[in-house]
Structure 1
Amino acid sequence: GMDMRSERRALERGAHIVVGTPGRLRDHITRRSLDMSALKAVVLDEADEMLDLGFREDLEFILDAAPAERRTLMFSATVPRSIATLAQGYQRDAVRISAAGEEKQHLDIEYRALSVAQPDRENAIINVLRYYEAKNALVFCNTRAAVNHLTARFNNRNFSVVALSGELSQNERSHALQAMRDGRAKVCIATDVAARGIDLPNLELVIHADLPTNPETLLHRSGRTGRAGRKGVSALIVPNSARKRTERLLQNAGLKATWASPPSADDVMRRDDERILADPVFDEPVKDDERGFIDALLARHGAEQVAAAFVRQCRASRSAPEDLMEIAPFTPSRERPAGEGFARRDEAPSRRDDFG
């Protein structure tokens, strides 16, 4: 999505490192604005995702255009067979290095599986966002349409939201991420592909609005939080019909999650009150230029009325929490007593009677 001409001028001036998307690099090679003759190394980042997205033809074109005597480095969170095959075709005497830093990272992430009734999914996400009030939160959806829908819904509910999906230009992506880093936005709603490789230093909460399709995606999404010694929460929103599937997903990923109900409206209100009581604004001493007006306020309205007005203002500035339907709590199968199980109807979404 960037201007081709300014890139061409930058390449004419010469560069030590060129970073690009496969399609754009191929364009520059075809138009002879990128001279590959002196290239020393080719690096493929997120190599597995590149192949999944159908960039294989472009990647092969680029690798064929590069000098035979070069280093080829491939980086990937997962190494499926397709990556191994590509590596064999384009690397000689390759060494495979597995970084073993994953376990430590996941100790800093608290996994929560939240059981909800199907119609309550979005309401549950609203309550989770309100309960944690994270500096930065990332909400994952499986499709662009779901990203657009949730962005509109949360904007209406007074959350400061940005969206990340394949529809955005590079410029729009950069603006969205900068808004998160600056604190102008607190919630980012994204698809898996759009969120690849992004780094938000204050990301405290990851919410899976749509369940990940495989264990690798679950780990990759959750790994956006709990970095550099900071704690993070990864919350899966689990409709009734997906309880068993979620249990298998967590098991295959080697993760233990706490099964619970999402925060109720009362839980959110209690948390709000705790935050008001703990607000550091109460630790600041009264300034001389404030004292006269404070005395006037107390003389006219009394301490109780002034405190009531303060509480109302605090509550009015936040989006109201949602009332959620109560459903039976889910106990993972390995924690159930022998012989105890769920009836088949517990797996299916609850059927509503005909509208009368």
Structure 2
Amino acid sequence: MIDGDDGVILLLYEAYKTHTERVRDARRDVHQLLLEEEWRVAMRERHYLTTQCLDAPCASGWMTLYEYGTDINFLNATSLTRPPKLRYLHHVLGLVLTFYVGSMEQSSLCITFGAPPSTLSRTLRKAEEALVRALNGYAPARISWPSPSCQVQEPSNADLQNAMYNGWLHSVFVTGTICFAADGCIIWSRHNCPGSWNDSDTSLEFRGKLTDPQYCPDGRMSVVSDSTFPCSTAMTGRILTPLKDGDIEKIEPSLRATARTLHSAITSIRQAAEWGMGCVQKVYSRLNLPLPYDPNLRGMRIGNLFRLANYRVRTVGIPEIKTTFSGAMEIPEQLTLSWCG
């Protein structure tokens, strides 16, 4: 018979032995898990080769194809050229839209799309050319939307650099003229003009259409512009400009209230047009960066950006001009134009 003290000692020893075995098993399991994790990390990094990685050469697929295949299927086993990095069209469309919307560098695009710089540049150029052909015949984007002044990269050729140099802004720029309709869409534009062109040069064709009865049969159609817009005798009453300093004193006292009201309306419309034009650069940040000095590539890129912006205005339906005057001003049947250059 075992007395009470011996029984207690045996029970304590049994509990201690069981606890020790469980701790040893837990340590062994934890050590095994750590080894497996380190092994998986080592296999992913591939810093070295093990004997398990080196199979017998006779069991490889190439040896089997060489032994039992023919010349035809042996040549077709590999591609004749390097496989493309962007295999599908929606990948290419995502690339060009990411390039337009973002302002990231080419190295960031290479990391995002997993393509080398040469492949990325070549694919991007082909994508822009394809986008030009697609947007030219697409109705919602039928009118381009240029910005008034887009900075470009300085060309290495001194003559080209002098041709596009702006003496007032002390930088290389391209200019243009755009005409907004009351619903926020672009009805006429001219962009990609190198250097500091005057408004009279960039808007010559537009002024010709404005005075042509074929394009503007209604004589009440007018254009809201700034005070520097060129105006000839034939366009009297067709260009509405805000008042300059001192003009209000030259007007008859009975007409000053009406002149102030017209001045406020012109200023409000012009601000809405400028806000709507600024939305293009906010959405497509590529316009905030220097554009390429190649005139063909620059014109193609600007045209794509403005057509996409015009498509966005038509599909989303919230242009700044329409939003500003929605409910406060009904758009008449005859089209009212607002100009910003």
TM range (shorter): under 0.3
TM-score, normalization by structure 1: 0.20
Give the structure with the higher percent helix.
2
- Which of these two proteins has the greater Rg computed from alpha carbons? 2
TM-score, normalised to structure 2, is 0.21
